[in-house]
Amino acid sequence: MLAEPIPGMDHRVVAELRRNFLEPPSTLPYNLSRDLQYLQASTSGTWTYIHKHLQHIFAQERQGFFVEAGALDGQQLSNTLWLEQELGWTGLLIEPDTSSYRALRAKRRKAWISNTCLSQDGFARRSIHVAATPTDDSAPPWHVRGASYQYGINRSNFFKDFLRRADQTYMTTTCFPLVSYIIALNISKIDFFSLDTQGMEEYILKAVPWEEVSVRVLVIEIEDSAYAPRIIQYLTGKGYVLLDYLTDYIFVKQGDPVLNHLKI
């Protein structure tokens, strides 16, 4: 059906997404790893920085809805697991890499999961993704391929160096614009949108149907800081305030009650 791009609001696209690319929240107990090395890696990098901000932003705000694009295995470096476990949130976890997605399904998250990617425009399409796995012996058995990215995207020098030392595999992935998921799940508000798509962030943001859905808080990884001014300018024009940044940029919608809480 998706041999050629089709508008994301097309009923055929939404039906295809519902039928073949969305799995409902698990009703089984969590199956999270307790391995000490794994848990240490799960809170490395900028995770602590993001987590502290989310704790402050959402405090005791319960029953929210999140979207995390680039969900990995649903536990390692997850920006949404705390919201789900501690505050009773649910949402949507999007992960294009097939290996990471198998691990994500096994975690039994209480959110919708989808082995797809966010489209760079308003169309559903097939895309080639590259997954990279470290080739040295230091990679632990639970390592997830966090460098999965769309083929053809120019990477930062840091990741180019990583990719030269990694085993790269190629896969065909189905990508849907955010509007398709919104219609399929019948939602109109996203309380928290975590976007980590290894270089596609600017394109994905410009394809968001801002008039169709309210997005309150965004955390966006900007791998190459040279692109940051354009993204900041774009989101400022959409009515967002840049709260803080450290590779991951945190934006809050102007007028959102959470801004009053943050001032306090």
Residue 30 lies in a domain: no
pLDDT value at position 109?
98
d(CA 183, CA 187): 7
Asked, for residue 162, whether it belongs to a domain, the answer is yes
Q: Give the separation between CA 73 and CA 214, rounded to whole angstroms.
A: 27
Does residue 74 fall inside a structural domain?
A: yes
CATH number of the CATH domain containing 126: 3.40.50.150
Each residue's pLDDT, cut to its tens digit, for the chain (264 residues) gives 565 789 999 999 999 999 999 999 999 999 999 999 889 888 888 899 999 999 999 988 999 999 999 999 999 999 999 999 999 999 999 999 888 999 999 999 999 999 999 998 999 999 887 777 666 655 555 455 555 666 556 555 555 566 666 677 777 889 999 999 999 999 999 999 999 987 789 999 999 999 989 999 999 998 778 889 999 999 999 999 999 998 899 999 999 998 887 765
Number of domains within the chain? 1
Residues 123, 8 contacting (CB under 8 angstroms): yes
Q: What is the pLDDT of residue 82?
A: 96
Would you give the DSSP letter of residue 237?
H
Is the separation of the CB atoms in 184 and 212 below 8 Å? no
Q: Is residue 31 part of a domain?
A: no
Check residue 242 and give its pLDDT: 96
Inside any domain, residue 1: no
- 193 near 67, Cβ under 8 Å? yes
- Assess if residue 156 is contained within a domain: yes
Range of the domain at 187: 6-23+37-263
CA distance 239 to 133: 39
Q: pTM for the whole thing?
A: 0.90
